[in-house]
Structure 1
Amino acid sequence: MTEVMTYDERHFLEVKALWQEAFPDDAPWNAAETAIAEKLKLQPDLMLVAIDGDRVCGSVMAGYEGHRGWISRIAVSRSHRNRGVGRDLLAEAERRLSALGCVKINLQVVESNSEVVEFYRRSGYRIEPRISMSKLLRR
């Protein structure tokens, strides 16, 4: 049985390894050293980990800017997939966002990642007709 809890610095190395497994071709600005440090500056209680025994088996970052909530960087180790870990992480992130007053959550998925798209569909998320745009401010 896994437990979802707020991230703590002691989880860093395991989350970093998890992200390397889950996001092997990720951009440098998404590196754990950068992303987690920045997340902990704002709403650290929305950086969550799933623990099985004493090991990290999943993580998610959520955020709320007063208008919309966001889910990002959700990852579950291969050894724990299809066991409800992602569902539990998502449910706790949604619970915490709702407690802040959030009424709508957005997220982005790489279009070709059909397995993850289906996970979110089963969790009640729907595809909206939007265009996702970005601008890199620094490298």
Structure 2
Amino acid sequence: MSYGTATRDDIGGLIAFWQVAGENDGRPVDTPDAVARQLERDPDALIVARAEGRIVGTVIAGYDGWRAHLYRLAVLPSHRRRGIARELMRRAEARLAAFGVSRIDAMVLEHNELGQSLWSSLGYTQQSDWRRWVRGV
């Protein structure tokens, strides 16, 4: 297993990976242009795990100068329960801590029981007094 950051050469593989491994309900469809913009804006944010050169896990550790956010934590179903998500999170949290952040948040769908179990095991707690508001552009 190797870990590193995604590159433009990974865009097609990332899109395909998230279609299989990601939680995609209620969210905009990932596009190559959107991933390319993310990589251009913050090339170190998208952390990937690879097995035999193939993407098997991802997390985006974003920091906007004010808040730290985690997105697209996903592991290929055939590679789950091997510690990949934990290692991705260790790397993501270290990256964000280097910015001096005091809090990290993650968006997890309410019906994503597997995701909620993982986040809870990593020490994250639900923030019940907030609701997310969204609007398409």
The two structures have a TM-score, normalised by structure 1, of: 0.87
73-82 vs 16-25, which moves further: 16-25
Query: Does structure 2 conserve the Cα–Cα contact (< 8 Å) formed by 1:15 and 1:32?
Result: no
- Which position in structure 2 is the counterpart of 1:115? 114
Change (3 A) 1:37 1:29: farther
Shift of 1:5: 0.4
- For 1:68 and 1:136, the matched residues in 2 are separated by 20
1:6-65 CA-to-partner distances (Å, cap 9, x unmatched) read 111222222111100124744673414143123123222011110112111011112112
Query: Does structure 1 conserve the Cα–Cα contact (< 8 Å) formed by 2:11 and 2:36?
Result: no
81-90 vs 24-33, which moves further: 24-33
- % of aligned pairs identical? 31
Change (3 A) 1:32 1:88: farther
Count of aligned pairs between the two proteins? 137
Change (3 A) 1:24 1:120: closer
Are 2:128 and 1:125 aligned? no
Q: Specify every segment of 5 or more residues in structure 2 that has no aligned partner in the other structure, as ranges.
A: none
1:96-135 CA-to-partner distances (Å, cap 9, x unmatched) read 1111111210011111111110101111111122322223
- For 1:69 and 1:36, the matched residues in 2 are separated by 19
Change (3 A) 1:133 1:48: same
Q: Which amino acid aligns with 1:111?
A: E
- For 2:25 and 2:36, the matched residues in 1 are separated by 17
- Which position in structure 2 is the counterpart of 1:71? 70
Change (3 A) 1:30 1:103: farther
Aligned Cα RMSD in Å?
1.8
Query: Does structure 1 conserve the Cα–Cα contact (< 8 Å) formed by 2:4 and 2:49?
Result: yes
Q: Specify every segment of 5 or more residues in structure 1 that has no aligned partner in the other structure, as ranges.
A: none
Query: Does structure 2 conserve the Cα–Cα contact (< 8 Å) formed by 1:69 and 1:102?
Result: yes
Change (3 A) 1:68 1:15: same
